[in-house]
Chains A and B, each alone.
Chain A
Amino acid sequence: MDLIVEGVRKAVELVVTLDPEVLGITSLSLAVSASATLISVVVGVTAGTAIALASFPGKRLVATFVNTGMGLPPVVVGLFVSMLLWRNGPLGGLGILYTPTAIVIAQAVIATPIVTGITIGAIQGLPPSLRLQILALGATRRQLLWMLVREARLPLLAGVMAGFGGVISEVGASIMVGGNIRGQTRVLTTATVMETGRGNFDVAIALSLILLSLTLGVNAALTLVQQRRRPR
């Protein structure tokens, strides 16, 4: 019990005193996961909308792959991205293994299927004749896509939240492609794993609390956007 109380006390102290190391880890976590989510939204919403609207042979198979991808184990992603970026790997020449960029790539790979899958569901969930209605109003192809995405914005923002939630909390890929290097690639999850391993429960609790509040804050902001100006 003392362990927990002491942990929480230490955590509060670390947060209140704006410990520079904790601050650095937090901002890196936020930057990396936000970038990865942004990439996954651009790729996932585009691909998901295209898959949902197009009719082609094997569409169901593609959807199945995407849905499987929503549960992609981060360690598997970490393994593959590591191999790609390894010194002798296909993209080894870029020299970005063990950098924040590598973590962004790995996290984007994890989040993209989540956003894509939710986008497919969201767009397919719209009434089928809505497309005809929008075109009948005189929409161009581009305007049609925009209107559909706009109509599906509530489930799409849920997709963004799910994507961000997935990457801010994953540890396997970050540790494998980032290496948990102090001051360079150490993020909240990797640091928590390390501190727990060392028995520094107070620091681990502090990092966990920060991680929780960060997730809460980002999701609260996205929820606010989702529910914003919803006419009553």
Chain B
Amino acid sequence: MTAPACIVELSGVRVERGGVRVLDVPAFGIAEREIVALLGPNGAGKTSLLLSLMALLPRAAGRLLWRGAEVATARDALAARRRMAMILQEPLLFDDTVEGNVASGLRLRGVRRAEARERVAAALARLGLGAIARRSARALSAGEARRVSIARALVLEPEVVLLDEPFANLDARTREAITDGLERTLRETGTAAVLVTHDPAEALRLSDRIAVMSGGAIVQAGPPAEVVNEPASELVASYVGMETVLEGVVVRSAGGELVASVAGRDVHALGAASAGEAVYCCIRPEHVLVESVDPSGSSSARNVFPARVTAISPAGPYLKVKLDCGFPLVASVTGESFAALRLARGREVFASFKATAIHVIRKGEAAPARRG
């Protein structure tokens, strides 16, 4: 994770508050154009990690590096900060107009007035805030305030932007609109980002890498599908949702229905993605049926695959059955069915799931090649 291509990275960083360790990160860095999602429970150290990257938390140990060079002095820290931007959980707007708020960082960084005006106008337009540019920041809805705080950060044209739950406390529609705008901007400008979120779907959709935190440490980090499909612990599993996530490419799409090619097999789903687009197909274990005979004729399920049982583990009142259908799939099965189907490792079965049971997430276009 400490490849030399990192823009900003933490090395052996420990942060303590009142003698209590709140962050312990041996190595964490963000590469050029990379979007990293941070998942984890409250108090896991996600915000502390962001603040450490911004050189805003005193470290008990460790180093902060900006493009390989140590950020040692207050002057270094200011210089590094001025090449990044951060969006905190609260919009924290200033008692000023919308455009005054968006211009505030540029003013602090000494950007010339004329240039600042142009950049502010462009940022306002990009986030759909042009019409309310002169309104008081005190008279905004939650969604508008959030967009202003995003505009205030992105207008700085940062090399890395750190986002601490930027979509918290927003209704689904507003959230969707803001996520879209943000994703587009990040991808178009190639801005690297670290995004703290509680929503695994959001992490899948936006990120190139997921890091799960707990107790101040990163407990697992890797490509989204890997973290979601192979959580390293129960804790990670509980935060990434235990879904099967399949990476695929849409081969056909019409009338809201699509067929995605997943590991060479056609998976039918409902979704708005168009042909050629990379998608994640998410299937919850309870939506996967396991049968001993081919249900193709008798079932309405569009997706039926011969499968082999690779693992069985108890999961509360159910059993979690891992299947290999050419791609991995997890099904939850009751004890009764388990007995009736005489399930065991290596047994050949049929797995089926409806097209409507699949949650399709469009992968950010032009996602850069992932690093291991």
Q: Which residues of chain A have a CB within 8 Å of any CB of chain B? A: 127, 129-130, 132-140, 143, 147, 150-151, 153-154, 230-232
Are A135 and B92 in contact, with the CB atoms below 8 A? no
Are A230 and B136 in contact, with the CB atoms below 8 A? yes
Does B270 sit at the interface, judged by CB under 8 A?
no
Are B94 and A231 in contact, with the CB atoms below 8 A? no
Contacting A at CB under 8 A, from B121-157, are 134-139, 152, 156
B56, B94, B134: the one within 8 Å of A136 (CB): B56
Are B78 and A140 in contact, with the CB atoms below 8 A? yes
Are B88 and A132 in contact, with the CB atoms below 8 A? yes
B94, B100, B109, B138: the one within 8 Å of A138 (CB): B109
**Alpha-carbon gap, A151 to B137, bound state (A):** 12
Are B108 and A137 in contact, with the CB atoms below 8 A? yes
A-B contact pairs, 19 of them (CB 8 A): A129-B88, A129-B92, A130-B92, A132-B88, A133-B86, A135-B54, A136-B56, A136-B81, A136-B85, A136-B88, A137-B105, A137-B108, A137-B152, A138-B81, A138-B108, A138-B109, A138-B156, A140-B108, A231-B134
Are A135 and B81 in contact, with the CB atoms below 8 A? yes
Using A136-B54, A138-B156 as known contacts, say yes or no to A231 and B81 having CB atoms under 8 A apart. Answer: no
**Residue in chain A with minimal CB distance to B97:** A231
**Alpha-carbon gap, A143 to B107, bound state (A):** 10
**Alpha-carbon gap, A155 to B56, bound state (A):** 28
Does B82 sit at the interface, judged by CB under 8 A?
yes
Using A132-B51, A136-B54 as known contacts, say yes or no to A231 and B92 having CB atoms under 8 A apart. Answer: no
Are B105 and A132 in contact, with the CB atoms below 8 A? no
**Alpha-carbon gap, A132 to B135, bound state (A):** 25
**Residue in chain A with minimal CB distance to B80:** A138
- Closest beta carbon of chain A to B59's beta carbon, Å: 16
Does B226 sit at the interface, judged by CB under 8 A?
no
Are B135 and A231 in contact, with the CB atoms below 8 A? yes
**Alpha-carbon gap, A150 to B84, bound state (A):** 24
B51, B92, B97, B137: the one within 8 Å of A127 (CB): B92
Other than A138-B156, A153-B95, give 14 A-B pairs with Cβ distance below 8 A.
A127-B92, A129-B89, A132-B51, A133-B86, A136-B84, A136-B86, A137-B104, A138-B108, A139-B108, A140-B78, A150-B94, A151-B95, A231-B137, A232-B139
**Residue in chain A with minimal CB distance to B135:** A231
Using A230-B136, A231-B96 as known contacts, say yes or no to A135 and B56 having CB atoms under 8 A apart. Answer: yes
- Pick the 8 closest A-B CB pairs, nearest first: A231-B136, A137-B105, A136-B86, A138-B82, A133-B92, A138-B109, A231-B97, A139-B108
- Closest beta carbon of chain B to A196's beta carbon, Å: 45
Does B90 sit at the interface, judged by CB under 8 A?
yes
**Alpha-carbon gap, A116 to B8, bound state (A):** 41
**Alpha-carbon gap, A150 to B107, bound state (A):** 14
Contact with A along B57-92 (1 / 0, CB 8 A): 000000000000000000000100110111011101
- Closest beta carbon of chain A to B120's beta carbon, Å: 14
Are B81 and A232 in contact, with the CB atoms below 8 A? no
**Alpha-carbon gap, A147 to B94, bound state (A):** 9
**Alpha-carbon gap, A154 to B95, bound state (A):** 10
**Alpha-carbon gap, A140 to B74, bound state (A):** 10
Residues in chain A near residue B90, CB distance under 8 A: 127, 129
Residues in chain B near residue A138, CB distance under 8 A: 78, 81-82, 105, 108-109, 156
Residues in chain A near residue B96, CB distance under 8 A: 231
Identify which of B81, B88, B100, B108 gathers the most chain A CB atoms within 10 Å of its CB. Answer: B108
Identify which of B92, B94, B109, B152 gathers the most chain A CB atoms within 10 Å of its CB. Answer: B92
**Alpha-carbon gap, A231 to B109, bound state (A):** 24
**Alpha-carbon gap, A231 to B92, bound state (A):** 17
**Alpha-carbon gap, A79 to B81, bound state (A):** 52
Are A132 and B108 in contact, with the CB atoms below 8 A? no
Are A132 and B56 in contact, with the CB atoms below 8 A? yes
- Closest beta carbon of chain A to B58's beta carbon, Å: 12
Residues in chain A near residue B89, CB distance under 8 A: 129
**Residue in chain B with minimal CB distance to A152:** B95
**Alpha-carbon gap, A147 to B90, bound state (A):** 18
**Alpha-carbon gap, A172 to B108, bound state (A):** 46
**Residue in chain A with minimal CB distance to B109:** A138
**Alpha-carbon gap, A206 to B78, bound state (A):** 59
**Residue in chain A with minimal CB distance to B134:** A231
**Alpha-carbon gap, A18 to B90, bound state (A):** 57
**Alpha-carbon gap, A215 to B90, bound state (A):** 40
**Alpha-carbon gap, A232 to B56, bound state (A):** 34
- Closest beta carbon of chain A to B107's beta carbon, Å: 9
Contact with A along B208-250 (1 / 0, CB 8 A): 0000000000000000000000000000000000000000000
Residues in chain B near residue A140, CB distance under 8 A: 78, 108
Are A143 and B108 in contact, with the CB atoms below 8 A? yes
